[in-house]
Structure 1
Amino acid sequence: MFEQGEYGGVRAAAGRSVRTRLWDRVAASDPGLLRLVAGLRTVGAIALALAVLALLGSDVTHLVAGAMAAMVATFAIREKLRGPQAVTLALGLPVALASVSLAALLASRVLLGDVFFVVLIFCAVYGRRFGDRGTALGLIGFQLYFVSLFVGASVSDLPELYRAVAVAFGCSALVRFAIVPATPTGILQRLRQAFRARMAQLLSSQSELLATDPDGLGKVLEDMREGTARLHETALMIQSRLDEGSFDAATTRSVQRRVAEAEIAVERLGLLLLTARSARRADTLTLHLPGAPTPSLGGLPGTDEAVELLRRDLSALRELVLRPPAEARGTALSHLRNRLLGYRDEENLPPASAAVQDVFRSVGETARAVMGLRIALDGPQDETDDSPATARSREELDTEDAAIEAGEEAEPEAEPSGLRRPTTRAAVQVAIGSSLAIVGGELLSAQRWYWAVLTCWIVFLNTASTGEILVKGYRRLLGTVFGVVAGIGLAGLVGQHTWTAFGLVLLLIFAMFYTAPLSYTLMSFFVTAMLGLLYTLLHTYSMSVLLLRVEETALGAACGVVAAALVLPVHTDRRTNELLDTVLERLLDVTEGAVDQLSGGHAVDLLDRARDLDQAVGDLRSATQPLTHPITPLRTRRDTARYVVALLETCAYHARSLAATAELLPAHPSIAADPRLRGAVRRTVRNIEALAARVADRHAGAEVETGPSIASLLEYDAHGAPRYGRVTDRVLRHLERLDEAVAGLARPLGVPVAAPKR
């Protein structure tokens, strides 16, 4: 009866259609379908432009120019709202026409043309300081100048070229706004589905932990680390797009809170599962540091019935996560939800060890977080079959939402001026690097020198230090070498079949845009293979041309690295130190603000602070890529960088958990302020300040303090009763782990550790 009643719903749910399961996998692999939309838009715009130009009788040269212009007009637009996108696209057309005109007019005046190209490059990079529109217009101007050089346009070709560019922009607009539209609300809807799918994948990895043996633990932990990181990535994507939707301020903050709660709840569930199977409490660092030592595993303590029940409850929780609201109605699923939420009450816990009961409580808290996320995103839910525990959870969620107020506007940070401004510095660097690339490129080839300039330009995009430029140049060169081999094979395959070649070009362009956020090397591979086909279409293909492409790419990358290293350089150490200082500053803001609120202080906008902290950690992780790259010869430095980033991710998780708990304080009936928490966090705050002082000045005399563990505050009194309530106990646990992680940063950052004070 029990199997068919409550858990029969899970078995029925297992019969979800193959199409639904496949869609969940796609949503999880491509959050918001952003890569798919980018690829479809670009390919659609190119295909439509080719069709229109073919009907107009354009020759192959202008078909290639129109295809490349359509690609640029599509990927250059970065605004997220449709109105600004339309304005930028409209402004881009005259910029594109002016760019191809000047390229054609200056084609016969080599020196003047080279000087103008360098000035254009400077202006295009400098335009980034004006936001997405400035970036897009600069990109259009540079790329269309390159297109004109690529097809060898002359003044007599300009009327046909104008027509090809105008058709390309018109087709790009039609595909963007009519054929493959993407509204902020629709993207947010798909991101929500991706969050749900990735959360379910993480729960599946966690459930494998129940039965895995010690030999298989490494694989399960790796899956959990990857799942945790992917879920966090999706949470940040949702939070970054909330302001662009149609939500009001209160709803935006409600969604922001519920997403954070769900992410924290499922990560904590994984930690408690690992703790229940370990000989001691699991270290949070295990879920953030690849290759971290695996804990010693034992059997899950408790009866077989409790273990089996936990396994089925995790499966039920995963099903509740996956089910969209339209499919989540029904008595069986309602009973599952009620049962899971009942674990939040002490009397509903099954007989088991304390560690296993903690896991059951966490299952209940995760179910509550899932219900809160559903209410925030999908509106009120069916309350017909609510149990008392479910009704109580709804009341708590309603009270919390009623207490939400719009946060204050953050003051914009002061930007550096002059050559200290990143856009100005990058513009000077890329202009000088491009000048070197032009000189060297023309020595290699008087006709195709612009490949070196293009590579020099590209390695500066989205990079901020010499190390990042070096790694990007290496990846581009590697992708180009393999792309040349593929281009040779494809060119021989298609021969003179024009439309077959165009069809393969479209496939390669889609692959280029779909893989761009995942692997720069793969993207470069598809670009180079595509160019081999374009040269075939223009009847300029030869082995020497593709080999020249490799030489020009290597030269352009080298010129970019030289310019970055010698002209207003930003060394990787300096860049990472600046970002590390930002992370520590924001960690201090979140920790102090959360503990002050939990101690009875005034309320502040903690979730926005936590999001800023997460963003700062993400920026630092990206900036350390040159240090953590697999080919780096500095193995010790690579391991140190990975360890520091993993410790900071651990700190961010505990700070985010403290912030989420503090946000509940004004409305949650079971959470009361505890002034004693201020004393528990003093040492941690001083240690964060000491780390920040040492990062800012290597000669600073700051030291990290050690002392009694915060866990000592959790001991039972003489009568065997806990000194704090369960919520305060959890807060202190987070403070303890945060304190340990902060102290752990002392050794890799070279900060002295003071002897414990008596």
Structure 2
Amino acid sequence: MPILASASDPGLFRLRRALRVLTAVLLTLAVLALVGLPATTMTPGAIVAAIAAFTVTEPRPRQKAITFLLLPVAACLSVVIEAVLRPYPLIVDAAFLAVVFCSVYLRRYALRGFAVGMVAFMTFFIVMLFHATTAQLPALLPAAVIGIACAALSHFVVVRERPWRTLGLTTSAFRIQMVQVIDAVDRLIQGGQADARRERRVRRGMRRIRASVLLIEEQLAESVARGSTGGRLHLIATELAVERLSMWASQAVAKEVPPQVRPRLRAELNVLRSLVSRTLDSAGAPDEEDILRRLADNARPSGTGSGPGPRGGTPAAIREFAVTWIRARRALASLGAPGVPVKNESAEHRQTAEQPLGERPEKVAEAVKPSPPAGLRLTTRQAVQATAAAAAATVMGELLSPQRWYWAVVAAFLVFANTTSRGDILLRGLRRTLGTVLGMVAGIAVAVVVTGDLPLTLLLMFGCIFGAYYLAPLSQSAMMFFITVVLALLYSLLGAFTPQLLQLRLEETAIGIAAGILAAVLILPTHTSATVRSDLAALLEDMELFVEDAMKLLSTGQRYDLVSKARDVDRRLGTLHSDAAPLTHPITPFRARRSDLDYLLNVLDSCAYYIRALAAQARPGNMACDERLASMGRRITANLGRLRDAVHGINQPLEQPSEDDMPTLCLVNHEDLHWTGAQRAPEHTDTQWILCNVARLDQSVAGMAHPLWLSTGSGAARRPA
């Protein structure tokens, strides 16, 4: 039976993560009840189990096992320190702030440090909240260990990883997302004219496809290390084909597709949709060949032009997508079970024992090594900020409510989770506050309705716990919404619910978030613009290394893994988009900076597209001694170097592309290039496409002078319109 994957959750990673949290909580409560531990250990044990199940996210089982072995040490140490120091309140407070500092500082050790730090903080906080003493240690220590053991059980037994099944789910999500993009293109063509809302839907679909392809690449990493690419070239070719289809649709509607042409185009898109809708393991080779013949017949230009006009047939973008997907699905279908060999299509890109990697200049080899960060590490800065914010939140929270001050401290601590700059902290803080406000309104309504109905209350509580952790990676507002509703239901269950209690939670949360934001702004601030500049410099460096290796592969035959380098560029670009979000958000007060940054990100998206195209098309030595290629390659690398210097404050004029280097076929439209290429030798077609993509990359790199306010060979750059 085919497995359907959610297009919004490729591989069902978020679903499994939420199920692990819910399973860990239920198992912990059941085990604690069975072993007869006091009821006061239920809440600490369940919270430790939830945090452990949610924060342990290493990709390999061995890495997870090591982390789970470290978690009981961190949890028990926190319990013992708090209980022993309980008679000395000031020392307990100092120890709590030390735990806050260490918990955030441990994030420098990536996923494992984050998990250990979160468990240490939450355990110390919970036992301090319950005023634990040394007499309670025989109950609290086993409860913490049982909670972590149940979290490990949920990871390794109940909701365990099945790599090949996950890979199959991710490839199925990839297929579904392509169907969604085809549907979005169909709606765009149906409108017949430019529509910003429909074009945004197409772009959102493309972003999801890129995310799924990166997930598939990560899951194939082990196979690649063993020498099998698992259809990586087919993946990147399909990604490029659907991207070209979306670009063709945007260009077509910009020219206003004639009404008499739309029905035929939509019919052909429907044929393409039916082809892509088939599951990977379904048979249908004869039908596929029939579809290709039908699209080929429609694609032949009749009369004038091959574009979307009165006499035009199937655009080349549709036929190209169909051909590419048929090839890709045959390769991806073999990924559904372990042990099935897959042809190493990209071996000619990869370094092998028979042909070692080409020598690099010393300056390039040194550039690969990450440069040490200037000043304190981000984790050190945030550790100091979080400690100061926790101290301020404790004082202000106790002034507001001596009994509920802990809500402020937790909010202040969580402000710094997975953030990179003060702008990021501010944006996430506003989202958490919004989620708390909405959760307060919903919590009051739900608590009033379910009062006295125990089964319904428990069902809603566990459902909200699942929803909070399922949506946490997507929306901080949604997570805070569900957590606030859970608190309302919990207090309703205990008979202590009042609307004023939720109002107090909102006020304490606002105090904690305000303390976190003030600490981030006033104490060792990490400016968002500085983070963006650092990301941009790293991205330009990756692009420069890719271009140098691509030019060597094309001109000398030296072998490089261009697909992996192109994916490195994609990941860097994704990080830049994420870190730049506070500056591109509609609420930002810096309108001019937002306009420049939006323009720059659009140009970088174009550069990444041409880089992926080169990675898919380049073959060793097939453009040796081509002067146009050499000229454009030198100019691109030189301009990328100047752009990196500009990021660091050294401004130099960029060299403008020469019209003599532009291939003639690049001057005609996309479909004419495809149709002309179909009647030429494949080698010549590949050469023309490579030159065209290099030329477009050359133009895009030079176009970054405008948003960065650099001068060019033709004069000073102006602000983009």
Note the residue ranges of structure 2 that are not aligned, 5 or more in a row. 337-341, 358-364, 669-675, 717-721
For 2:331, the equivalent position in structure 1 comes to 376
Structure 1 residue 404: Cα displacement: 5.5
Structure 1 residue 312: Cα displacement: 4.6
Structure 1 residue 194: Cα displacement: 0.9
User: Which of residues 267, 274, 287 is equivalent to 2:243?
Assistant: 267
* TM-score (structure 1 length as normaliser): 0.82
For 1:754, the equivalent position in structure 2 comes to 713
SS of alignment partner, residue 692 of structure 1? helix
For 1:571, the equivalent position in structure 2 comes to 527
Alignment partner of 1:702 is 2:653? yes
How many angstroms apart in 1 are the aligned matches of 2:223 and 2:550? Answer: 29
- Cα displacement string for residues 536-566 of structure 1 (whole angstroms, at most 9, x for unaligned residues): 4455544443333222222222222222223
How many angstroms apart in 2 are the aligned matches of 1:256 and 1:687? Answer: 30
SS of alignment partner, residue 753 of structure 1? coil
Provide closer, same or farther for how the CA distance between residues 648 and 39 of structure 1 changes in structure 2, counting only shifts above 3 A. Answer: same
Are the equivalent residues in 1 in contact too, given 2:100–2:383 (CA < 8 A)?
Answer: yes
Provide closer, same or farther for how the CA distance between residues 495 and 54 of structure 1 changes in structure 2, counting only shifts above 3 A. Answer: farther
AA aligned to 2:639 is: N
- Cα displacement string for residues 347-375 of structure 1 (whole angstroms, at most 9, x for unaligned residues): 98453624368965444433343244334
For 1:448, the equivalent position in structure 2 comes to 404
For 2:278, the equivalent position in structure 1 comes to 323
Are the equivalent residues in 1 in contact too, given 2:423–2:582 (CA < 8 A)?
Answer: yes
How many angstroms apart in 2 are the aligned matches of 1:645 and 1:605? Answer: 25
User: Which of residues 148, 151, 155 is equivalent to 1:172?
Assistant: 151
For 2:100, the equivalent position in structure 1 comes to 121
How many angstroms apart in 2 are the aligned matches of 1:658 and 1:715? Answer: 15
For 1:250, the equivalent position in structure 2 comes to 227
Alignment partner of 1:335 is 2:290? yes
Are the equivalent residues in 2 in contact too, given 1:694–1:702 (CA < 8 A)?
Answer: no
Structure 1 residue 516: Cα displacement: 1.3
Structure 1 residue 54: Cα displacement: 3.8
Structure 1 residue 522: Cα displacement: 1.3
For 2:413, the equivalent position in structure 1 comes to 457
Alignment partner of 1:229 is 2:180? no
How many angstroms apart in 1 are the aligned matches of 2:373 and 2:684? Answer: 52
Provide closer, same or farther for how the CA distance between residues 684 and 105 of structure 1 changes in structure 2, counting only shifts above 3 A. Answer: same
Provide closer, same or farther for how the CA distance between residues 401 and 734 of structure 1 changes in structure 2, counting only shifts above 3 A. Answer: closer
For 2:463, the equivalent position in structure 1 comes to 507
Structure 1 residue 520: Cα displacement: 1.2
How many angstroms apart in 2 are the aligned matches of 1:685 and 1:273? Answer: 32
Bigger shift: 133-142 or 481-490? Answer: 481-490
Alignment partner of 1:734 is 2:693? yes
Provide closer, same or farther for how the CA distance between residues 473 and 211 of structure 1 changes in structure 2, counting only shifts above 3 A. Answer: closer
Are the equivalent residues in 2 in contact too, given 1:272–1:355 (CA < 8 A)?
Answer: no
Are the equivalent residues in 1 in contact too, given 2:539–2:572 (CA < 8 A)?
Answer: yes
- Cα displacement string for residues 473-514 of structure 1 (whole angstroms, at most 9, x for unaligned residues): 111122122222223333333435555433222111111112
- Cα displacement string for residues 140-178 of structure 1 (whole angstroms, at most 9, x for unaligned residues): 111112222444544443333334333323322332222
Provide closer, same or farther for how the CA distance between residues 710 and 211 of structure 1 changes in structure 2, counting only shifts above 3 A. Answer: farther
- Cα displacement string for residues 636-694 of structure 1 (whole angstroms, at most 9, x for unaligned residues): 332322222122111111122122211x456x9xx888443222344444333332222
For 1:392, the equivalent position in structure 2 comes to none
How many angstroms apart in 2 are the aligned matches of 1:533 and 1:716? Answer: 65
Are the equivalent residues in 2 in contact too, given 1:314–1:363 (CA < 8 A)?
Answer: yes
How many angstroms apart in 1 are the aligned matches of 2:595 and 2:564? Answer: 31
- Cα displacement string for residues 312-370 of structure 1 (whole angstroms, at most 9, x for unaligned residues): 54333333333234322463345335666x68xxx984536243689654444333432
How many angstroms apart in 2 are the aligned matches of 1:162 and 1:458? Answer: 25
SS of alignment partner, residue 714 of structure 2? coil
For 1:582, the equivalent position in structure 2 comes to 538
* TM-score (structure 2 length as normaliser): 0.85
AA aligned to 1:647 is: V
User: Which of residues 510, 528, 534 is equivalent to 2:484?
Assistant: 528
For 1:546, the equivalent position in structure 2 comes to 502
AA aligned to 1:730 is: W
- Cα displacement string for residues 351-407 of structure 1 (whole angstroms, at most 9, x for unaligned residues): 3624368965444433343244334333399xxxxxxxxxxxxxxx96845546457
- Cα displacement string for residues 182-211 of structure 1 (whole angstroms, at most 9, x for unaligned residues): 233322221111111111221232344444
SS of alignment partner, residue 29 of structure 1? coil
Provide closer, same or farther for how the CA distance between residues 716 and 170 of structure 1 changes in structure 2, counting only shifts above 3 A. Answer: closer
AA aligned to 1:747 is: H
Are the equivalent residues in 2 in contact too, given 1:269–1:359 (CA < 8 A)?
Answer: no
Are the equivalent residues in 2 in contact too, given 1:581–1:695 (CA < 8 A)?
Answer: yes
Structure 1 residue 429: Cα displacement: 2.3
Alignment partner of 1:204 is 2:180? no
Are the equivalent residues in 2 in contact too, given 1:419–1:425 (CA < 8 A)?
Answer: no
AA aligned to 1:167 is: I
User: Which of residues 61, 66, 73 is equivalent to 1:82?
Assistant: 61
SS of alignment partner, residue 281 of structure 2? helix
Bigger shift: 443-452 or 406-415? Answer: 406-415
AA aligned to 2:283 is: A
AA aligned to 2:256 is: L
How many angstroms apart in 2 are the aligned matches of 1:507 and 1:453? Answer: 26
How many angstroms apart in 1 are the aligned matches of 2:314 and 2:541? Answer: 34
AA aligned to 1:317 is: L
How many angstroms apart in 1 are the aligned matches of 2:699 and 2:509? Answer: 47
Structure 1 residue 62: Cα displacement: 3.0
Are the equivalent residues in 1 in contact too, given 2:164–2:335 (CA < 8 A)?
Answer: no
Task: Provide the aligned C-alpha RMSD in A.
Answer: 3.5
Alignment partner of 1:27 is 2:6? yes
Provide closer, same or farther for how the CA distance between residues 379 and 404 of structure 1 changes in structure 2, counting only shifts above 3 A. Answer: farther
SS of alignment partner, residue 705 of structure 1? coil
Residues 80-479 of structure 1 aligned to structure 2 (within 5 Å)? 80-214=59-193, 217-243=195-221, 245=222, 248-251=225-228, 253-275=229-251, 277=252, 295-299=254-258, 311-329=266-284, 331-336=286-291, 349=300, 351=302, 353-355=305-307, 360-379=315-334, 400-401=345-346, 403=348, 405=350, 413-414=369-370, 416=372, 420-479=376-435
Are the equivalent residues in 1 in contact too, given 2:541–2:644 (CA < 8 A)?
Answer: yes
Bigger shift: 727-736 or 546-555? Answer: 727-736
Provide closer, same or farther for how the CA distance between residues 600 and 41 of structure 1 changes in structure 2, counting only shifts above 3 A. Answer: same
AA aligned to 2:380 is: T
Are the equivalent residues in 2 in contact too, given 1:441–1:449 (CA < 8 A)?
Answer: yes
Structure 1 residue 463: Cα displacement: 1.1
Bigger shift: 463-472 or 408-417? Answer: 408-417
How many angstroms apart in 2 are the aligned matches of 1:652 and 1:237? Answer: 17
Alignment partner of 1:65 is 2:50? no
Are the equivalent residues in 1 in contact too, given 2:231–2:345 (CA < 8 A)?
Answer: no
Provide closer, same or farther for how the CA distance between residues 715 and 49 of structure 1 changes in structure 2, counting only shifts above 3 A. Answer: closer
How many angstroms apart in 2 are the aligned matches of 1:713 and 1:595? Answer: 21
Note the residue ranges of structure 1 that are not aligned, 5 or more in a row. 1-18, 279-294, 382-396
Provide closer, same or farther for how the CA distance between residues 272 and 710 of structure 1 changes in structure 2, counting only shifts above 3 A. Answer: farther
How many angstroms apart in 2 are the aligned matches of 1:415 and 1:531? Answer: 46
Residue identity over aligned pairs, in percent, reads 35
For 1:743, the equivalent position in structure 2 comes to 702
Bigger shift: 622-631 or 481-490? Answer: 481-490
Structure 1 residue 715: Cα displacement: 8.3
